[in-house]
A and B are shown apart, each in its own frame.
Chain A
Amino acid sequence: MRRFFSLGLLCLLLLSVTVTAQAQTSATVEANDAAALELLNALDVRSYSAKGEAINAILQSDDERARDWLQSLLDGRLQRTDDGRFVVVLDNQGRDWPVADALTNEPLGEMSRRDLDRIGINNNLRNQLRSAIAVVDLYSPNVERRRISASRLLGEVDEELAEPLSQLIAEEEDAEVARRLTQALAIYQVESGELEGVETLRGSLHPRVRVALSRAANSDDPIIADAANEALSSIEQNLKINRGLETLYFGLSLGSVLVLAAIGLAITFGVMGVINMAHGELIMLGAYTTWMMQQLLPGQPGLALILSIPAGFMVAALVGIAIERGVIQFLKGRPLETLLATFGISLILQQLVRTVISPLNRTVITPEWMSGSLVINDALSLTLNRMFVLGFALVVFAALMLIMRRTRLGLEVRAVTQNRAMARSMGIRATRVDIMTFALGSGVAGLAGVALSQLTNVGPNLGQNYIIDSFMVVVFGGVGNLWGTLVAGLSLGIINQVLEPWAGAVLAKIIVLVFIILFIQKRPRGLFPQKGRAAEG
């Protein structure tokens, strides 16, 4: 992006890193401390350009702690106490923070925020630090670090770096790192007008490559320009395909959210016929359960999230049972009235969360293994959190399908909703069926909440945001048909995402709604209608 580095400096660095490695053993600690303090002191200035120079100074020093300091500085943990010492903050939650001495690494207990001054950095410095660390890391024995630093070099190579780079490529064992470095070199070659570079870059989807080729395509040299153009057009072609795949993924992912939110309702509303306006709040409870679990298990967001799956189900199911027993059982045969009562319940649950927990959103942490993307290629990466949600939605759907199709509960609940009196006459314990089914639907809503906590706000309004969509998906799919809910959710998601790039988010949403209205004219009973004499009345 930016030429953040003077190349002379870079070479110097490469040199110094190698030198440091040898010098380290012989350096004396005491002499270092005074010098180190001076280095750090230089950081404690207001001007960011002065800080930048201080950082360079640290890099050029042969102090073995340099990388740690830079990392702490990058993380914003390098701070200065009122009495002029430098400390590293170990944990910066709350008002008092545990700290350690920056020079000795000795823990110093807790300090108040009032007594600490952060050594601030801005994005430019952050870039500088990253690159500095990256260049150091290019020589790291750690392959992962080398890969990251190699990626950063794309578009950043120039004359003086080109040479050491070729040598590094030759020595590199990791194919990925080598490929990246080759590309980085090739970009430099293209920029300096060498045709060879264009050939190397052909087919690469990396944006920096594209920028370089675009520039080359406008170059005065017709041979280069033609080659670059040709390479570009094949890249564009490839990009288009990848963009299509990406849109499909976006659609599936949005769809899976809709499915998850709606699937519990497909049970309570679709199968049981209860217009459960509190469905959204049950989702909300699932999300809050995740938050609660993460509070109970600090530092283990992943474990907490996994435990939230059963916990979220249970919490929502129990609340569902309470709702069923407390209210809905009295409304048998009056399905429309369940609308009124459950709306009341939804108001109560929302306000309950506001009063008991907080009107503010809560932070739910995304565990390491769920954040970031799965990189398919330079132009296509799939976000992991959404991939998990998509998978989760499918698993939940399959499980529900099994329960409704393969267990007695599935049969009994359908019998009870179709003809309650007769079902009881057949010996079906209708009350128990009601409780279990409602608990199941509610529990699934809770599961949706657990998943949604990874994508969106965990706050008192969470439920409200999903209730309308959920009903729409269930009805659009065809009431009482789980497949319908799945297909409806996924297809609405895909339609929305396909429309969005050219219509914009607002218009896309409107178009989807109009589409639903028109579609229902064609199929007045949804995507998968209940068929047959009885349904047609």
Chain B
Amino acid sequence: MMTQSSSSQFWLTRPFGERATQIFLGVLFAALLLVTVLHVALPQGHPLHVNAYTVNLFGKYLSYALLAVAVDLVWGYLGILSLGHGAFFAIGGYAMGMYLMRQIGDRGTYGDPVLPDFMVFLNWDSLPWYWLGFDMAWFAFAMVLLAPGLLALVFGFLAFRSRVTGVYLSIITQALTFALMLAFFRNEMGFGGNNGLTDFRELLGYNLRSNDTRLGLFIATGVALALGYILCRAIVTSKLGRVCVATRDAEARTRFIGYRVERFQLFVFVVSAMLAGLAGALYVPQVGIINPSEFSPIFSIEIVLWVALGGRATLYGAVIGAILVNYAKTIFTGVMPDAWLFALGAMFVLVTVLLPKGVAGLLLHLKRRKKSAALPKEATA
């Protein structure tokens, strides 16, 4: 059980004692390694060769997976069904996008050394203040975490202080992302409106259109996922994690034994938002565009669906769900472009009805079955 003490000195190292984490990290790193080897070592025509397109695709899935982990942290363990996590993801993405835009320099269409193209042709004469600093990588990368973190802090502070819970919280998170979407659609906001930010060229001096950079981003995303996972795992296996679960199930009761519930909620919410921001930042250079549609409420709902499908409150379930759904999307939209929504819809329905605890629940079930088959029946008196 979770209560088994570990001899570790530092709370972050606690998850390494867990079987599930070991397996997860093992599988993740094996997959990273495998893809890398198959991509680099095998020649183009080889049947097992993994091409850059696929590497790129999986890089994107991994960033989605990190996002799903962030959502599972607040939903699975804290009981906050956030229907607005896309906002944090998008803000992280925009922070990265702004950096990448500034990296274009004078190579843009209009050759303006400072202003991004969309500002030139809409007659902006100078960079708005909130774009300042984004030409520096360290600043931009800090903002990737700080901007979503700050938004989550302010929003969460208000909401948790007022004890907004349940669907009410869900709906205001949705209102948040919806409002941001509308705001970012506005050209006046200075984020490129509907067209968003595109035409990126390089990241930290690496050409974004080169396959090596893609591989690098893929690996970086994998590592970020691993770190994010470990962080979340460390949180949920700590006593704080149990306070979260207690809050999820009986918020008022948790207060009566002396926990300042709103602070715990705020802490975890902010951590989750920052992870989502990180995921967004890794996503943007891999797909080459960030636009306000990442703020759309439906996208945020979809994230929740990945988690639910994978299995809530397991973290690795979120990873499985995110990869599975998005892979299915990729496959279905290619194989049956006219009918893929039927397939995807059916998948959601069937998983819900047949696998009450998601795919992770199925795995757990299979494991238990194997275990109980291995042990001869114990006599129970």
Binding site for B on A (CB under 8 A): 277, 327, 330-331, 334, 336-341, 343-348, 350-352, 355, 464, 468, 471-472, 475-476, 479, 506, 509-510, 513-514, 516-518, 520-522, 524-526, 536-537
For B351, the chain A residues whose CB sits under 8 A away are 340
5 A-B contact pairs sorted by A residue (CB < 8 Å): A339-B308, A340-B351, A344-B352, A355-B338, A506-B182
For B341, the chain A residues whose CB sits under 8 A away are 347-348, 350-351
Q: Verify if B185 is at the interface (C-beta below 8 Å from A).
A: yes
Q: Are B175 and A344 in contact (CB under 8 A)?
A: no
Q: Are B348 and A337 in contact (CB under 8 A)?
A: no
Q: Please tell me which one of the listed residues B155, B163, B170, B353 contacts residue A330 in the complex, with CB atoms under 8 A apart.
A: B353
Q: Are B174 and A468 in contact (CB under 8 A)?
A: yes
A352 vs B155: C-alpha distance in the bound complex, in angstroms? 39
Q: Are A524 and B352 in contact (CB under 8 A)?
A: no
**Which A-chain residue is minimally distant from B341 (CB atoms)?**
A351
Q: Are A506 and B308 in contact (CB under 8 A)?
A: no
Interface residues as binary, B335-350 with A (CB distance below 8 Å gives 1, 0 otherwise): 0001101101111110
Binding site for A on B (CB under 8 A): 81, 155, 158-159, 161-165, 167-168, 170-172, 174-176, 178-179, 182-183, 185-186, 250-252, 297-298, 301, 304-305, 308-309, 312, 338-339, 341-342, 344-349, 351-353, 356
Q: Are B301 and A277 in contact (CB under 8 A)?
A: yes
Q: Are B348 and A340 in contact (CB under 8 A)?
A: yes
A339 vs B167: C-alpha distance in the bound complex, in angstroms? 12
Q: Are B352 and A520 in contact (CB under 8 A)?
A: no
Q: Are B344 and A347 in contact (CB under 8 A)?
A: yes
Shortest distance between the CB of B347 and any CB in chain A (Å) = 7
Q: Please tell me which one of the listed residues B155, B172, B250, B344 contacts residue A516 in the complex, with CB atoms under 8 A apart.
A: B172
- A347-B341, A475-B171 known; 6 new pairs, CB 8 Å cut-off, are A327-B352, A347-B344, A350-B341, A517-B176, A521-B158, A537-B250
A343 vs B346: C-alpha distance in the bound complex, in angstroms? 10
A346 vs B305: C-alpha distance in the bound complex, in angstroms? 13
For A471, the chain B residues whose CB sits under 8 A away are 171, 174
With A510-B179, A521-B162 as contacts: A351 and B81 at CB distance below 8 Å: no
A477 vs B318: C-alpha distance in the bound complex, in angstroms? 32
**Which A-chain residue is minimally distant from B171 (CB atoms)?**
A475
For B345, the chain A residues whose CB sits under 8 A away are 343-348, 351
**Which A-chain residue is minimally distant from B298 (CB atoms)?**
A464
Q: Please tell me which one of the listed residues A344, A351, A464, A468 contacts residue B347 in the complex, with CB atoms under 8 A apart.
A: A344
Q: Are B175 and A522 in contact (CB under 8 A)?
A: no
With A337-B308, A344-B344, A472-B174 as contacts: A521 and B352 at CB distance below 8 Å: no
Shortest distance between the CB of A508 and any CB in chain B (Å) = 10
Q: Please tell me which one of the listed residues A340, A344, A537 contacts residue B251 in the complex, with CB atoms under 8 A apart.
A: A537
**Which A-chain residue is minimally distant from B167 (CB atoms)?**
A475
Q: Which of B250, B338, B344, B353 has the most CB of A within 10 A?
A: B353
Q: Are A516 and B81 in contact (CB under 8 A)?
A: no
For B165, the chain A residues whose CB sits under 8 A away are 524
For A331, the chain B residues whose CB sits under 8 A away are 352-353
**Which B-chain residue is minimally distant from A508 (CB atoms)?**
B182
Shortest distance between the CB of A218 and any CB in chain B (Å) = 36
With A520-B168, A521-B162 as contacts: A506 and B186 at CB distance below 8 Å: yes
For B298, the chain A residues whose CB sits under 8 A away are 464, 468
Shortest distance between the CB of B271 and any CB in chain A (Å) = 22
Q: Are B297 and A468 in contact (CB under 8 A)?
A: yes
Q: Please tell me which one of the listed residues A350, A355, A476, A510 contacts residue B171 in the complex, with CB atoms under 8 A apart.
A: A476
Shortest distance between the CB of B198 and any CB in chain A (Å) = 22
Shortest distance between the CB of A103 and any CB in chain B (Å) = 52
Q: Please tell me which one of the listed residues A347, A468, A476, A520 contacts residue B164 in the complex, with CB atoms under 8 A apart.
A: A520
Q: Please tell me which one of the listed residues B164, B185, B309 contacts residue A340 in the complex, with CB atoms under 8 A apart.
A: B309
For B168, the chain A residues whose CB sits under 8 A away are 475, 479, 520, 524-526
For A518, the chain B residues whose CB sits under 8 A away are 158
For B338, the chain A residues whose CB sits under 8 A away are 355
**Which B-chain residue is minimally distant from A468 (CB atoms)?**
B297
Q: Are B175 and A517 in contact (CB under 8 A)?
A: yes
Shortest distance between the CB of B72 and any CB in chain A (Å) = 13
A537 vs B253: C-alpha distance in the bound complex, in angstroms? 9
A508 vs B127: C-alpha distance in the bound complex, in angstroms? 26
Q: Are A339 and B356 in contact (CB under 8 A)?
A: no
With A336-B308, A524-B168 as contacts: A341 and B174 at CB distance below 8 Å: no
A327 vs B356: C-alpha distance in the bound complex, in angstroms? 12
Shortest distance between the CB of A346 and any CB in chain B (Å) = 8
For B162, the chain A residues whose CB sits under 8 A away are 520-522, 524
Q: Are A468 and B167 in contact (CB under 8 A)?
A: no
